Chain A
Amino acid sequence: MEKSDRIVQIGPQGSLAVLALGSIGLKKWREAVQIAQEKEAQKKTEDGKEASK
């Protein structure tokens, strides 16, 4: 596992260590944020569907 993956996974979300990894940390972190946002959006959609049932 790459160091950047490890930090994104094990560190607190959006920790300083991610920024300290430079370009690679930034890319991974932004990807992680995007995935989290998509998941959240998906959850909201699903929750909305549930609620409307």
Chain B
Amino acid sequence: MAKKLASKILVIGWDAAEWSVIEPLIQQGKMPALQKLMSEGVYGRLKTLDPPLSPMLWTSIATGVRADKHGVCGFVEPVPTGEGLRPVTSTSRKVKAIWNMFTQENLKTNVVSWWPSNPVEEINGVMVSNLYQVATKASREDWKMPDGTIHPKEREEEMKEFRVHPHEITLNMVAPFVPNIVEDIELRKDKRVASIIKIIANAASVHAASTHLMENTEWDFMGIYHDAIDHFCHTAMRYHPPLRKHINEKEFENFKHVVESGYQFHDMMLERTLELIDDQTTVILLSDHGFYSDHRRPLQIPKEPSGPAAEHSPYGVIVMKGPGIKNTGEEITGASIIDITPTILALSGLPLGSDMEGKALTYAFSEEIQLEFIPSWEEREGFSGMHDKNAVEDPWAAQEALQQLVELGYIDKMDDDKLEMVAKSKLESDYYVARNMVDGGRLKEAILIFERIFTESSVIRYGQRLAFAYLNLKRYDKVGEIITQLKELERKDLEETKKKVKEKNPEDPFLNKEFEEPNYLEYIEGLMLLALNKPGKALPLLEKVQKKNPNSLDIALNIAKIHKLRKNFSKAEKQYIKALAIDERNSIAHHGLGISFLRQNKVDAAIDEFLLALESNFYMPSVHYHLGEALYKVEEYQQAAEAFEMAIHLAPGMTKAHKWLLEIYSDKLGDHENALRHKEFLNNNIKGEIIVVTGLPKTGSSLMMQILEAGGTPILIDDVELKGTKKNKSMEFAKVNLIQKDTSWMIDARGKAIKMVVQLLNYLPVDYNYKVIQMNRDISELMMSQQVHLGKKATPDTLPLKLFNNYLSQLNKLNVWIEAQPNVQLLKVEFDDLIENPTEQAEIIADFIGEDMDLNAMIQVINHDLVKVRKK
């Protein structure tokens, strides 16, 4: 058994808790209990999963896996009759939760109100379901406890008493949230006030039940879940200060305290909860996602299922304190909600499932421990208290089976409207699963789902996600197809809206509205152009989209990337600053801003930005690398060496960092032992980096070799004696074609460019790093050029189809091969772009090579070639 660091673990869930609300409250001393917890443990941001839907997320938190594995795929599931929907239940969960694992290990566990936990499971302890606190009757006397709310059943009567009915909530209890309620009698009838009263009552019920169990039961693990912060925020975050232009001032005055008081109420409850634990208990307080509280608050909630999730921000909170956790009060980075179950298991000395998708947050532990793994908790024998898998049906599968029985005539036809509602929810549930897969990097699996649901439904949102997934997989032809389909759907949508408007008012000016390409399509097109190395064409599109979406982080980052690529660092700087105004802790923006400063020689500012990037995400090797570069510039050689060492620690193959370290240790620090270490590494482990220019015949690879040579990159071609001959003109090195048999010549190719046909690339040995420049040209144009070269007649109609397909297949194979090579970086260059935009392309090539290159000389070579092309 692995070492046990914590003997008791208490997990407190605050749905939607967000640092941007908490931080000012802590500064004002308004959340003393949380402040104490943070100062005696560790705290940090906790990354959510996409889509940020709470039942999916809390189940990932409790299981360590994503929705496609755990089975809770949204807010609803079909009712057992198949004719309608109900809130998602615990029977949808297909895998063991942390309380099942503890039960299996014969450890005592209490769970209160986890979402979803109804019906309760027969765990080794007490389980109170998430329907416990929901008042179903107008009076407390009539409010019965439904079956499946409490385990064990004999505790029902006892637990019933701790439910607080909304009618018990007094004016004094609501006053901290809505102070004007004391004087303003009309305000008491406002439905937002009714919501606030319910939320207070629900929170009080959960808190009373959990404190009662803490006082009266023994437990090794206890999980308490509060949804109140999320609900207060959905009700009133729009009134949270500062007042925004479109918010009514009177309403602002009435409801501006709701969010703040909600957090303070939670801090008060936390204080009591912490009074009930001993010093042997490790506390983990967390939220599943955050909640935008500033200028990023959406102006409108999208009118679509789960639309309110647009208010959720991607980072929640985590605070850990107690045995096994560092007591330094330091901030931790890089934690995700998927890491919680592995962390609890590791703290408890229990094995982690190898099938879990997260990691144990061992960097927050007070000591190093050896983790133990088992293949899966699902295969571990023993009573876990989980619902009997054989007795529990997948509700969606059950609904489909019922529908089949209807079609066969075995049971009566179901209500069409209800069935349609179920069918739509099923698509929506699949959509969430696919988004969850994209979030986990499983693009190919997600695409299969997006393709199916988009084909079945033509729902535009599904098509949008499909287009982005194709884009990320570099399947640009498919992106183009989807863009065309989406445009068509948008056109139809407009026509249908016009029809409806016309029926009401034939003179409505809306009927004159012309079709305008929606913003998101321009965004996708812009991103595609950027991915295809056409930043010049991408920039105006993205800038246009940014005007309409000034608060989009991704747009700002992409525009900044273009400026950085084109070495326009002052413009890049502005966009990164814009990105940081949207998300002040974004590590990519801090890194980019740092590079922009560094290249403009504002070295101190650059260092600040790199340090801020590392504060948000320490595990970015390229940030450590650039920090090293900046520190070198200010002659802080020892610190620069430390930064480069960290870059190598995180990314051992980073050749450039080894080179810097060799120079610093030998020339600046006189540390010959360390210098030797890096010299040996460079000589042995990584033999070097080779630039490989490739492409199908006649795609301009010789031209690319000439461009590189002009830019200052050494090239490896056959003997100079061949200068001026046909062979030399084609910039070839004969031994390259024998690579299958002999690679000894490659040692001489280090740091140089070579030319190689596509078909030979997969013979490149793994002990070198490669930068591959792939030349592309329109294939039909290319083949015509080849046919002419061979003295054959060439028109678009006479091209040999077989050869055409063969070329396509070779290019596809190349792409598949390159994707699987960790030591290969790829740059695709279009021949036409090279001729049309020589300056831009020269900049892109220089950026890819990563050295200072003579851009003018490179452009001159291209222009010279252009003259030849035009002459032809």
Shortest B363–chain A CB gap in Å is 34
Q: Which of B172-217 contact A (CB under 8 A)?
A: 172-173, 176, 200, 203-204, 207-212, 215
- B156 CB–A CB distance under 8 Å: no
Q: Contact between A15 and B172 (Cβ–Cβ < 8 Å)?
A: yes
- A22:B268 contact, CB within 8 angstroms: no
In this assembly, does B632 line the interface, its C-beta being within 8 Å of a C-beta of chain A? no
CB-CB under 8 A from B642, the residues of chain A are none
Contact of A22 among B171, B173, B269 (CB under 8 A): B269
Query: Closest residue of chain B to A23, judged by CB?
Result: B212
Q: How far is the CB of A4 from chain B (nearest CB, A)?
A: 9
Contact between A17 and B268 (Cβ–Cβ < 8 Å)?
Answer: yes
Q: Does A51 make an interface contact (CB < 8 A)?
A: no
A:1-48 near B, CB below 8 Å:
12-17, 19-26
Residues of B within 8 Å of A, CB-based: how many?
23
Given the known A-B contacts A12-B172, A14-B170, are A20 and B272 also in contact in the complex, defined by CB atoms under 8 Å?
A: yes
Q: B212's closest neighbor in chain A, by CB? A: A23
Contacts A22-B272, A22-B273, A26-B164 given; indicate if A16 touches B265 (C-beta within 8 A).
yes
Question: With an 8 A cutoff between CB atoms, is B848 at the interface?
Answer: no
Does B162 count as interface, using CB distance less than 8 angstroms?
A: yes
Most buried by A among B171, B207, B209, B271: B207
Chain A residues lying within 8 Å of B207, measured Cβ to Cβ, are: 19-20, 22
Tell which of A14, A21, A23, A24 touches B173, judged by Cβ atoms closer than 8 Å.
A14
- Please give, as numbers and ranges, the residues of chain B lying within 8 Å of A21 by CB-CB distance: 211, 272
A15 to B328, CA, bound (A): 36
| Complex-state Cα separation, A12 to B182, whole angstroms | 13
Question: Taking the nearest CB of chain B, how far is it from the CB of A42, in angstroms?
Answer: 22
Q: Which of B123-166 contact A (CB under 8 A)?
A: 162, 164
Contact of A26 among B162, B176, B271 (CB under 8 A): B162
Contact check, B211 vs A16: say whether CB atoms are below 8 A apart: no
Q: Give CA–CA (A16, B164) in the complex, Å.
A: 13
- For chain B residues 582-638, which have a beta carbon within 8 Å of chain A? none
Total contacting residues, chain A, CB less than 8 A? 14
A25 to B271, CA, bound (A): 13
A19 CA to B170 CA, complexed, in Å: 11
Chain B residue numbers with a CB within 8 Å of A17 are 268
A20 touches B268 (CB 8 A): yes
Q: Are A23's CB and B172's CB within 8 A? A: no
Query: Are B173's CB and A19's CB within 8 A?
Result: yes
Q: Which residues of A contact B204 (CB under 8 A)?
A: 19, 26
* Residues of B with C-beta under 8 A to A16: 172-173, 176, 200, 265, 268
B264's nearest neighbour on chain A, judged by CB, is: A16
- B170 and A22 contacting across the interface, CB-CB below 8 Å: no
Nearest CB in chain A to that of B271: its residue: A20
Choose among A13, A21, A24 the residue with the greatest number of B CB atoms under 10 Å from its CB: A21
Chain A residues, CB < 8 A from B171: 14
- What A residues does B273 contact at CB under 8 A? 22
Q: How far is the CB of A12 from chain B (nearest CB, A)?
A: 5
| Residues of chain B with a CB closer than 8 A to A22's CB | 207-208, 210-212, 269, 272-273
Cβ distance B267 to chain A, nearest Cβ, rounded Å: 9
Chain B 262-292 per-residue mask, 1 if CB under 8 angstroms from chain A, else 0? 0001001101110000000000000000000
Could you pull out 5 A-B pairs where Cβ atoms are within 8 angstroms? A14-B171, A16-B173, A17-B268, A21-B272, A23-B215
| Other contacts beyond A14-B173, A20-B268, A26-B204: 14, CB < 8 A | A13-B170, A16-B265, A16-B268, A19-B204, A19-B265, A20-B269, A20-B271, A21-B272, A22-B210, A22-B212, A23-B162, A23-B208, A23-B209, A26-B164
